[in-house]
Structure 1
Amino acid sequence: MTTRTSQAALETTHAQPLVEASQPGRLVSLDVFRGITVAAMILVNNPGDWGHIYVPLEHAAWHGCTPTDLIFPFFLFIVGVSIVYALDGARRQPETHGRTMVRILKRSAILFGLGLFSALFPNFDFETVRIPGVLARISWVFLVCGVLFLKTTRRQQLGLLAFVLVLYNVLLQVVPVPGFGPANLEASTNLGAWLDRVVFTEKHLWSSSRTWDPEGLLGTLPAVGTGLLGMLTGQWLRRKDVDPATRVAWLFVAGAGAVVLGLIWNGWFPINKALWTSSFVLYAGGLAMATLAGLYWLTDVQGYRRFTTPALVYGVNAITVFFLSAIVAKSLNLIKVTAASVPLKTWLYTTFFTPYFSPINASLAGALVCVLIWLGILWIMYRKGVIIKV
Structure 2
Amino acid sequence: MNKEAITRDKSRVRSIDALRGFDMFWIMGIGSVIVRMAAIENTPFWSGFAAQFEHPYWNGFTLWDMIFPLFMFLSGMSSPFSIDKQLESGRTRKQILWKVVKRGLILILLGIIYNTKGIELRPLTEYRYASVLGKIGASYVFANIIYLYAKPNARIVWYGALLIGYWLLLKFTAAPGFPAGDLTEAGNFASYFDRIVLPGVLSREIHDTVGLLCTITGVSTTLLGVLAGSFLKKHPMAPIKKTLWFCIAGVGLILLGLLWNLDFPINKNLWSSSYTVLTGGISLLLFALFYYIIDIKGYYKWSFFFRVIGMNSIFIYLSPIFINYSYIARAGLRWVGQLAGPYEAPVMGLCTVFVSWLVLYFMYKKKIFIKV
Q: TM-score range by the shorter chain?
A: 0.7 to 0.9
CA distances 1:96-134 after superposition (whole Å, capped 9, x unpaired) = 011111111111111111111122234432431111010
1:124 lines up with 2:121 in the alignment: yes
The one-letter amino acid paired with 2:25 is A
Q: 1:95 to 1:28 in 2, by over 3 A?
A: closer
Q: 1:262 to 1:100 in 2, by over 3 A?
A: same
Matches within 5 A, 1:69-108: 69-90=65-86, 96-108=92-104
Q: Hey, what does 2:356 align to over in structure 1?
A: 374
Q: Give 1:87 shift.
A: 0.5
Matches within 5 A, 1:1-150: 6=1, 17-21=3-7, 23-43=9-29, 54-90=50-86, 96-122=92-118, 123-126=120-123, 127-150=125-148
1:226 lines up with 2:207 in the alignment: no
The one-letter amino acid paired with 2:351 is V
Structure 1's unaligned 5+ residue stretches are 1-5, 8-16, 333-343
User: Secondary structure of 1:182's partner?
Assistant: coil
Q: 1:249 to 1:354 in 2, by over 3 A?
A: same
Q: Hey, what does 1:265 align to over in structure 2?
A: 260
Q: 1:156 to 1:365 in 2, by over 3 A?
A: farther
* Preserved contact between residue 172 and residue 181 of structure 2 (Cα < 8 Å): yes
| Aligned-CA RMSD value | 2.8
Q: Hey, what does 1:169 align to over in structure 2?
A: 167
More divergent stretch after superposition (249-258 vs 43-52)? 43-52
- Alignment identity in percent? 27
Q: 1:193 to 1:31 in 2, by over 3 A?
A: same
Q: Give 1:153 shift.
A: 1.6
The one-letter amino acid paired with 1:374 is S
* Preserved contact between residue 48 and residue 363 of structure 1 (Cα < 8 Å): no
Instruction: Count residues in correspondence.
Output: 357
CA distances 1:147-199 after superposition (whole Å, capped 9, x unpaired) = 11100122111111111111111111221323444331112321111111111
The one-letter amino acid paired with 1:325 is P
CA distance in 1, matches of 2:263, 2:271: 14
CA distance in 2, matches of 1:269, 1:68: 20
CA distance in 2, matches of 1:92, 1:192: 40
CA distance in 1, matches of 2:254, 2:90: 36
User: Secondary structure of 1:57's partner?
Assistant: coil
TM-score by structure 1 length?
0.83
More divergent stretch after superposition (313-322 vs 117-126)? 117-126
| Bigger helix fraction | 2
Q: 1:190 to 1:364 in 2, by over 3 A?
A: farther
Q: Hey, what does 1:385 align to over in structure 2?
A: 367
